[in-house]
Chains A and B, each alone.
Chain A
Amino acid sequence: MKPLNLIPIKPSLDFAGKRIIFFGFSILLVLASIALFVARDLNYGIDFQGGILIEVRVDKAGKLGEMRQQLSNLGLGEVALQEFGAPTDILIRIQKQEGGEKAQQAAIDKVKKELGPGVEYRRTEFVGPKVSEELFRDGVLAVVLAIVGILIYIWFRFEWQFGVGAVIALCHDVLTTIGIFALTGIEFNLSTVAAILTIAGYSINDTVVVYDRVRENLRKYKTLSLFELLNNSINETLSRTVMTSVTTLLALLSLYILGGEVIRGFSFAMIWGVVIGTYSSVCLAVPLLLYLNVNRGTGRTKSDGEVAQEASS
Chain B
Amino acid sequence: MVYFSKWKVSIILGIVVLGLAFAAPNLLDRKSADELPGWLPHEQVNLGLDLQGGSHLLLEVKASVVVRERLESLVDGVRIALRKDRIRYTGLGLRGKTVTFMVRKSSELEKARKLAQGIEDNLEILAEGNRVTVNFTQRALVEIEKSAVDQSIEIVRRRIDETGTREPTIQRQGRDRILVQVPGLDNPERLKRLLGKTAKMSFHLLDHKGSMSEAMQGRIPPGTMLLPSVEGGNQAQRYLVRKRVAVGGDRLIDSQPSFDSRTGEPIVNFRFDTLGGKKFGDVTKKNVNRPFAIVLDGKVISAPVIREPILGGSGQISGNFTISGAQDLALLLRAGALPAPLTILEERSVGPGLGADSIAAGKIASIIGLILVVVFMVITYGIFGVFADIALLVNMVLILGGLSLLQATLTLPGIAGIVLTIGMAVDANVLVFERIREEVRAGRTPISAIDAGYSRAITTIIDANLTTLIAALILFYFGSGPVRGFAVTLSIGIITSMFTAIMLTRLCVVAWIRNRRGTEVPI
Q: Do A and B come from one complex?
A: yes
Q: A interface vs B, CB < 8 Å?
A: 1-6, 9-10, 55, 57, 100-102, 104-105, 108-109, 112, 120-128, 130-131, 135, 138-139, 141-142, 145-146, 149-150, 153-154, 157, 190-191, 193-194, 197-198, 200-202, 204-206, 208-209, 212-213, 216, 236-237, 239-240, 243-244, 246-255, 257-260, 262-263, 266-267, 270, 306, 309, 313
Name A206's closest neighbour in chain B (CB-CB).
Answer: B464
Known: A191-B483, A243-B434. A198 touches B376 (CB 8 A): no
Q: B369, A142: Cβ atoms under 8 Å?
A: no
Name A1's closest neighbour in chain B (CB-CB).
Answer: B382
Residues in B whose Cβ lies below 8 Å from that of A57 = 353
Q: B441, A146: Cβ atoms under 8 Å?
A: no
Contact pick for B523, options A3, A104, A258, A267, CB 8 Å = A3
Beyond A109-B189, A258-B361, 19 additional pairs, beta carbon < 8 A:
A101-B60, A101-B345, A105-B196, A120-B351, A123-B351, A128-B343, A128-B344, A128-B345, A146-B475, A198-B475, A198-B490, A205-B467, A212-B463, A244-B427, A244-B430, A258-B368, A267-B416, A270-B416, A313-B451
Known: A154-B467, A208-B467, A255-B365. A201 touches B472 (CB 8 A): yes
How far, in angstroms, from A96 to B423 measured CA to CA in the complex? Answer: 39
Contact with A along B335-358 (1 / 0, CB 8 A): 000000001111111110110011
Indicate the member of B385, B427, B455, B465 with the most A CB atoms within 10 Å: B427
Known: A125-B349, A240-B430. A4 touches B479 (CB 8 A): no
How far, in angstroms, from A270 to B472 measured CA to CA in the complex? Answer: 14
Known: A201-B472, A247-B376. A259 touches B350 (CB 8 A): no
Q: Can you name 30 A-B residue pairings with CB atoms under 8 Å?
A: A3-B382, A101-B344, A102-B343, A122-B351, A123-B354, A125-B349, A142-B474, A191-B413, A197-B471, A197-B474, A198-B471, A204-B467, A208-B464, A208-B467, A213-B460, A240-B431, A244-B426, A247-B373, A250-B369, A250-B373, A254-B366, A257-B365, A258-B368, A260-B358, A262-B50, A263-B362, A263-B413, A263-B415, A263-B416, A313-B451
Q: B424, A244: Cβ atoms under 8 Å?
A: yes
Residues in B whose Cβ lies below 8 Å from that of A212 = 459-460, 463-464
Closest 8 CB pairs of A and B: A251-B423, A248-B423, A201-B471, A260-B361, A201-B468, A254-B369, A122-B354, A142-B478
Q: B interface vs A, CB < 8 Å?
A: 50, 58, 60, 188-189, 192, 196, 343-351, 353-354, 357-358, 361-362, 364-366, 368-370, 372-373, 376-377, 379-382, 384-385, 412-413, 415-416, 419-420, 422-424, 426-427, 430-431, 434, 437-438, 441, 448, 451-452, 455-456, 459-460, 463-472, 474-475, 477-480, 482-483, 486-487, 490, 522-523
Q: A246, B376: Cβ atoms under 8 Å?
A: yes
Residues in A whose Cβ lies below 8 Å from that of B455 = 309, 313
Chain A min CB distance to B434 (Å): 4
Q: A146, B470: Cβ atoms under 8 Å?
A: yes
Q: A131, B460: Cβ atoms under 8 Å?
A: no
How far, in angstroms, from A270 to B490 measured CA to CA in the complex? Answer: 14
How far, in angstroms, from A101 to B50 measured CA to CA in the complex? Answer: 23
Q: B424, A248: Cβ atoms under 8 Å?
A: yes
Chain B min CB distance to A10 (Å): 8
How far, in angstroms, from A243 to B368 measured CA to CA in the complex? Answer: 18
Known: A126-B346, A131-B346. A200 touches B471 (CB 8 A): yes
Residues in A whose Cβ lies below 8 Å from that of B350 = 122-123
Name A152's closest neighbour in chain B (CB-CB).
Answer: B470
Residues in B whose Cβ lies below 8 Å from that of A248 = 420, 423-424, 427
Chain B min CB distance to A211 (Å): 8
Q: B353, A146: Cβ atoms under 8 Å?
A: no
Residues in B whose Cβ lies below 8 Å from that of A6 = 380
Residues in B whose Cβ lies below 8 Å from that of A10 = 441
Q: B420, A263: Cβ atoms under 8 Å?
A: no
Residues in A whose Cβ lies below 8 Å from that of B362 = 259-260, 263
Q: A4, B474: Cβ atoms under 8 Å?
A: no
Known: A244-B424, A255-B419. A239 touches B434 (CB 8 A): yes
Q: B189, A157: Cβ atoms under 8 Å?
A: no
Residues in A whose Cβ lies below 8 Å from that of B349 = 121, 123-125
Q: B373, A142: Cβ atoms under 8 Å?
A: no
Q: B358, A135: Cβ atoms under 8 Å?
A: no
Chain B min CB distance to A58 (Å): 13
Name B422's closest neighbour in chain A (CB-CB).
Answer: A251
Contact pick for B460, options A102, A120, A208, CB 8 Å = A208
Chain B min CB distance to A117 (Å): 11
How far, in angstroms, from A208 to B252 measured CA to CA in the complex? Answer: 68
Name A249's closest neighbour in chain B (CB-CB).
Answer: B423
Q: B416, A258: Cβ atoms under 8 Å?
A: no
How far, in angstroms, from A124 to B437 measured CA to CA in the complex? Answer: 54
Residues in A whose Cβ lies below 8 Å from that of B456 = 216
Chain B min CB distance to A187 (Å): 14
Q: A190, B479: Cβ atoms under 8 Å?
A: yes
Q: B347, A126: Cβ atoms under 8 Å?
A: yes
Q: A259, B452: Cβ atoms under 8 Å?
A: no
Chain B min CB distance to A76 (Å): 16
Known: A198-B490, A200-B471, A259-B416. A251 touches B438 (CB 8 A): no
Chain A min CB distance to B58 (Å): 6
How far, in angstroms, from A182 to B335 measured CA to CA in the complex? Answer: 49
Q: B381, A3: Cβ atoms under 8 Å?
A: yes
Chain A min CB distance to B263 (Å): 28
How far, in angstroms, from A202 to B490 measured CA to CA in the complex? Answer: 12
Indicate the member of A123, A206, A216 with the most B CB atoms within 10 Å: A123
Name B55's closest neighbour in chain A (CB-CB).
Answer: A124
Q: A259, B463: Cβ atoms under 8 Å?
A: no
Residues in B whose Cβ lies below 8 Å from that of A197 = 471-472, 474-475
Residues in A whose Cβ lies below 8 Å from that of B188 = 124
Residues in A whose Cβ lies below 8 Å from that of B472 = 197-198, 201
Residues in B whose Cβ lies below 8 Å from that of A200 = 471
Residues in A whose Cβ lies below 8 Å from that of B50 = 262
Q: A252, B368: Cβ atoms under 8 Å?
A: no
Chain A min CB distance to B48 (Å): 12
Chain A min CB distance to B65 (Å): 14
Q: A243, B412: Cβ atoms under 8 Å?
A: no
Contact pick for B192, options A105, A198, A243, CB 8 Å = A105
Chain A min CB distance to B50 (Å): 8
Residues in A whose Cβ lies below 8 Å from that of B373 = 247, 250-251
Name B434's closest neighbour in chain A (CB-CB).
Answer: A240
Contact pick for B483, options A146, A149, A190, A239, CB 8 Å = A190
Residues in A whose Cβ lies below 8 Å from that of B466 = 153
Known: A198-B490, A208-B467. A251 touches B346 (CB 8 A): no
Name B441's closest neighbour in chain A (CB-CB).
Answer: A9
Residues in B whose Cβ lies below 8 Å from that of A150 = 467, 470-471
How far, in angstroms, from A212 to B467 measured CA to CA in the complex? Answer: 13
Q: B478, A141: Cβ atoms under 8 Å?
A: yes
Q: A205, B419: Cβ atoms under 8 Å?
A: no
Q: A247, B377: Cβ atoms under 8 Å?
A: yes
Chain B min CB distance to A151 (Å): 10
